[in-house]
Amino acid sequence: MGVFLHRRHIGLALVALIAALLAGALYLSGALDTAEENILDRFVIRKDPPRDILIIAIDDRSLRAVGQWPWPRAVFADAIARLRRAEVVGIDVNFAEPSRVGAFDDNRLAEALRTFPGRVVLPLFIDPRTGNSFGPLPSLTGENVSLGAVNVSLDADGAVRLMALGRPSFAEALAGKTAVIPETARIDWRGPAETFPTISLIDVLEGTVPEDVFAHKTVLIGATAPDLKDSVETPVGLMPGVEFQANALATLESPSRFRDLPRPWGVLGIALAAFLATLLAAFIRKTLPLIVLFALGVGLIYLVAAALFGVYLVTPVLYLELAFILAAGGGVVYQYATEAREKQFIRTTFQYYLAPEVVNELVRDPSKLSLGGKRKTLSILFSDIRGFTTLSESLSPEELTERLNEYLSAMTDTILEHRGLVDKYIGDAIMAFWGAPIDDPTHAEHACRGALAMIAILDMLNKTWKKDGKPEIRIGIGISTGEVVVGNMGSAKRFNYTIVGDEVNFSSRLEGLTKAYGVPILIGENTRDAIAALPDLPTRLLDRVAVKGKSEPRALYELIARGVTPAHQTLFEHYERGRAAYERGDWDRAIAAFNEALATEPDGPSALLLERAREFKQQPPERWDGVYRFTSK
């Protein structure tokens, strides 16, 4: 499982890297800038326009009052005369051709411009293909008349979001300054059409507007009537060209300017968005929470970008969301693919060692599976057939194979039914353990119940074999509980899920000691402590020993395999008195008690300790502490 986790993390990192590279390449190439701008358009909010900018509208009412367009230049001369208290007047009307009324009409406008006490800005159009400029008649220019380019910079979708600077532009001429860097500036839109204060030109001509209204103002005169077709598409809707110029001027005069997030920071943000998405895919395994978190992630990117736009920082929101979505989608696809392989690995690895319902539980929730070099407390079982050599000599190879397969199948099924894992077969021996790969807090209980079931099943098999005239089989089982290392052991190409550690060896020793004590099941002290509160799993303390190679004494217990009868109870009382005397070194009392126990019924432990007590009585040990030390396995 550790291998799968390692590979999964590497794979998800690659998914994030690919998503980041793809989104980053699109970002640097500007391939999706139009779509990006459409998202940024939604961040535009209405703001109060500057109080010193005023629009004089050539609207439908003015057209009806003055007459057919184009108007005589004298109309504009009269308007300028009434705006003498304005600081700057910008006329967004083309005067490139002589007046159709006559030269005196152009002269009248020229005189009005010359005598205007403030500054006047007239439009200039620059042909983007040839670079040629088309401005007003030379007679209309003078010391107080400036020219500004009215060209607009259209995006691919036909909308205007930026203003070109440094020509100078019409807005720069109105502001009386020229911006050299940057060449373009994002317009800080104040709102849709009619956001700026607007007065109909006919009201100015008729003198219904007090001249104080224009004092110290920048006044823009331009067409707003739809029939004059002087309008541009903007993020806030269709807008008259003169109001576009008002927004451009307000942007230039504002202390706050939009600035784009530096490209390196944008690329870094894209990479972070991609890796955040894959982190979610790595650690959130359930579909619904993952979808919710992905949606929240996209929404969070959008909200953060909107907030930054509000403080005049433009972030690549679309590319950030694209990186997040690509990484999220790729991460989910990769997760499903790897989970499919992982589940197949689980089934292949454990289908012969675990019960089907346990395997299905692992497949449903692989997080319960812990593979690969982990210390863990487990319960380990070893079982072995007694007298297997004699049995094999009495049967043909075919009969032996059939009998062994029948026995091993029954024992394996019993272990699996009790949630154990069959680790391996060692000839006629079986090694199994409980508590891994799925955590099992009652693994000692399950191991003991599994051992008792093995004895019960074997008794049934023996009855059948006896009826068929086949030799019976006896087994010994040893169970110990303790800390081991569990995981995949072996080479890189061939490995097995198994356990190693001293407790494994001790369990094997317990199985071997069942021969000496003449009992079917021996368990260690840790196992007995884990089941001590369970009255249906009776035990009795047999001895305190030190197995070969170990100096630390261990208590041995018999797990009573076939119930406790009154005769057994009497036997156990005699045995306990004998064992207590035996530990004290009171050999005579021990011998007497063990004889009384054996008089009740045959008992392997009583016979073994009786024999030792007689030997120790004849040749007392130099230093007796109640612990018998085995010199062989």
Which pLDDT does position 345 carry in this prediction? 66
Q: What is the rounded CA–CA span in Å between residue 127 and residue 576?
A: 114
User: Given a cut of 90, is residue 55 above it in pLDDT?
Assistant: yes
Nearest to residue 314, comparing CAs of 34, 43, 31?
43
Q: Measure CA of the first residue to CA of the last residue in the chain; give whole Å.
A: 36
User: Given a cut of 50, is residue 457 above it in pLDDT?
Assistant: yes
Q: What is the rounded CA–CA span in Å between residue 478 and residue 527?
A: 11
Which pLDDT does position 538 carry in this prediction? 94
C-beta separation of 480 from 523 below 8 A: yes
C-beta separation of 64 from 209 below 8 A: no
Residue 454 has φ and ψ, to the nearest 5°, of: -60, -45
DSSP β-ladder status, 88-91 and 119-126: parallel
The pair of structure tokens assigned to 614 is: 């007689």
User: Residue 200 carries which DSSP code?
Assistant: E
As a whole number, mean pLDDT of residues 286-294 equals: 84
Question: Which CB contacts under 8 angstroms, 24+ apart, belong to 294-301?
Answer: 294/324, 294/325, 294/328, 297/273, 297/324, 297/328, 298/324, 298/325, 301/273
Which pLDDT does position 3 carry in this prediction? 42
Which pLDDT does position 359 carry in this prediction? 62
Share of the chain above pLDDT 70, in %: 90
As a whole number, mean pLDDT of residues 424-438 equals: 90
The pTM of the whole model exceeds 0.85: no
Q: What is the rounded CA–CA span in Å between residue 480 and residue 544?
A: 15
User: Can you name the residues that pair with 240 across neighbouring β-strands?
Assistant: 231
DSSP β-ladder status, 495-500 and 474-490: antiparallel
As a whole number, mean pLDDT of residues 324-338 equals: 83
Nearest to residue 145, comparing CAs of 187, 117, 180, 108?
117
Tell me the pLDDT of the chain averaged across its residues: 88
As a whole number, mean pLDDT of residues 558-577 equals: 89
User: Given a cut of 60, is residue 12 above it in pLDDT?
Assistant: yes
Which pLDDT does position 486 carry in this prediction? 84
Which pLDDT does position 2 carry in this prediction? 43
Does 18 or 391 have the greater pLDDT score? Answer: 18
The pair of structure tokens assigned to 180 is: 């050299």
Q: What is the rounded CA–CA span in Å between residue 434 and residue 499?
A: 11
Beta-carbon contacts of residue 161 (< 8 Å; ≥ 6 apart): 37, 40, 41, 153, 155, 186, 187, 234, 235
Which pLDDT does position 107 carry in this prediction? 94
- 392 by Cβ neighbours in 10 Å (0-12 / 13-18 / 19+) ranks as middle
C-beta separation of 40 from 186 below 8 A: no
The pair of structure tokens assigned to 337 is: 């693919």
User: Given a cut of 60, is residue 179 above it in pLDDT?
Assistant: no
Does 364 or 93 have the greater pLDDT score? Answer: 93
Q: Classify domain 370-562 by CATH architecture.
A: 2-Layer Sandwich (3.30)
Residue entry with tokens 């009154």 = 566
Alpha carbon distances (Å) from 546 to 403, 448, 495, 539, 629: 36, 23, 33, 20, 5
Residue 48 has φ and ψ, to the nearest 5°, of: -70, 130
User: Given a cut of 90, is residue 463 above it in pLDDT?
Assistant: yes
Which pLDDT does position 199 carry in this prediction? 96
pLDDT digits over 512-549, tens only?
A: 999 999 999 999 999 999 999 999 999 999 999 987 76
Which pLDDT does position 499 carry in this prediction? 87
Nearest to residue 86, comparing CAs of 209, 204, 217?
217
Which pLDDT does position 339 carry in this prediction? 66
Name the pLDDT band for 182 (thresholds 50, 70, 90): low
Which pLDDT does position 562 carry in this prediction? 78
What's the gap between Cα 553 and its chain centre?
50
pLDDT digits over 229-282, tens only?
A: 999 999 999 999 999 999 999 999 998 999 999 999 999 999 999 999 988 887
Which pLDDT does position 364 carry in this prediction? 64
Please tell me the least confidently modeled range out of 66-70, 456-460, 492-496.
Answer: 492-496
Our separate counts of H helices and E strands in the chain read: 20, 23
pLDDT digits over 372-388, tens only?
A: 568 899 999 999 999 88
- Domain extent listing, the chain: 2-40+260-347, 53-253, 370-562, 564-633
Nearest to residue 445, comparing CAs of 366, 360, 523?
523
Which pLDDT does position 393 carry in this prediction? 80
Residue 232's Cβ-side half-sphere holds a number of Cα atoms within 13 Å equal to 22
As a whole number, mean pLDDT of residues 174-198 equals: 84
Does 8 or 485 have the greater pLDDT score? Answer: 485
Q: What is the rounded CA–CA span in Å between residue 382 and residue 423?
A: 10
Q: What is the rounded CA–CA span in Å between residue 248 and residue 164?
A: 10
User: Can you name the residues that pair with 147 across neighbouring β-strands?
Assistant: 122
User: Can you name the residues that pair with 126 across neighbouring β-strands?
Assistant: 133
Q: What is the rounded CA–CA span in Å between residue 512 and residue 630?
A: 12
Most confident of the following: 237-241, 333-337, 469-473: 237-241
Name the pLDDT band for 5 (thresholds 50, 70, 90): very low
pLDDT digits over 93-133, tens only?
A: 999 999 988 889 999 999 999 999 999 999 999 887 887 88
Sign of CA dihedral 465, 466, 472, 477: positive
**Helix runs in 164-209, H state only:** 170-175, 201-205
User: Given a cut of 60, is residue 493 above it in pLDDT?
Assistant: no
Q: What is the rounded CA–CA span in Å between residue 537 and residue 523?
A: 12
Name the pLDDT band for 321 (thresholds 50, 70, 90): very high
419: left (phi over 0), alpha (psi -120 to 50) or beta: left
Q: What is the rounded CA–CA span in Å between residue 162 and residue 384?
A: 86
User: Given a cut of 80, is residue 414 above it in pLDDT?
Assistant: yes
Other C-beta atoms closer than 10 Å to the C-beta of 553 total 16
Q: What is the rounded CA–CA span in Å between residue 511 and residue 372?
A: 27
